[in-house]
Amino acid sequence: MFCGIVAGGVPSFRVTDEADGVAFLDTRPVFKGHVLVVPRTHLVTLADLPPESLAGYFGLVRRVALAVETGLDAGGSFVAMNNKVSQSVPHLHTHVVPRTKGDGLRGFFWPRTRYADDDEARSYAGRVAAALPSAPGRV
């Protein structure tokens, strides 16, 4: 499924599409604005990510986390990755979830919600994309 999103064959609400990865809204977000970041290449777990790709991929994750906080006026973010156990899609992906004080998220219980419609999802993706800092060395 994520390979289809990266290739553009599966619809998604993209935040960014870059050489180091693609970021898009989770369709079953913990909180609205929950973004998934995936590498362009199909990899299953973090152990499969080549060492030379670490800086680029996690640089993108970092920038998305900053954009989620800024673009959504969130108090912070929760950044997480499952490897094998609890990994619902066998494609390396990092969750970036907007957080606010008192939002009710405790431990690793992840309640899920839905967007009211595609327009609401596009609005959240657009707000995060607009706040995305440029990658170092890129304009």
The residues annotated with a catalytic role in the active site are 93
Following CA atoms 61, 63, 65, 71 in sequence, which dihedral angle do they give, to the nearest 10 degrees?
-140
Tokens 């590498």 belong to: 39
Take residue 9 and report the two structure tokens written for it.
């064959």
Beta bridge partners of 23: 16, 37
Q: Where do runs of H (alpha helix) occur along the chain?
A: 2-7, 54-71, 118-131
